[in-house]
Chain A
Amino acid sequence: MSAAVSAIVLAAILLGIVVVDLLRQHGRILATLHELDGGEDQPEAEPPVTPGR
Chain B
Amino acid sequence: MTTALLTICGMLLIAAGGLKVVIPGPATDALAVAGLPSHPLLVRAGALAELLLGAAALVWSDRTVAILVGLSFAAFAAFVERLRRLPDAPSCGCFGGAGEVPSARHVVGNLLLAVGCLAAAATHAPSMVTLLRQHPSTGAVFVVATVTAAWLAGLVLRGGPGSELS
Binding site for B on A (CB under 8 A): 1-4, 6-11, 14-15, 17-18, 21-22, 24-25, 28
Q: How many B residues have CB within 8 A of the partner chain? A: 24
Does B1 contact A18, Cβ atoms closer than 8 Å? no
Give the interface SS of chain B, mostly helix, strand, loop or mixed: helix
Q: A-facing mask of B139-166, CB < 8 A → 1, else 0?
A: 1011001101100110110001110001
When distances are taken between beta carbons in the complex, the residues of chain B under 8 Å from A21 are 155-156, 160-161
B residues apposed to A, CB below 8 Å:
1, 3-5, 7-8, 126, 131, 138-139, 141-142, 145-146, 148-149, 152-153, 155-156, 160-162, 166
- 20 residue pairs of the A-B complex, CB under 8 angstroms, read A3-B142, A4-B139, A4-B141, A6-B1, A7-B141, A7-B145, A7-B146, A7-B149, A8-B141, A10-B8, A10-B149, A14-B149, A14-B156, A18-B156, A21-B155, A21-B160, A22-B161, A24-B160, A25-B161, A28-B166
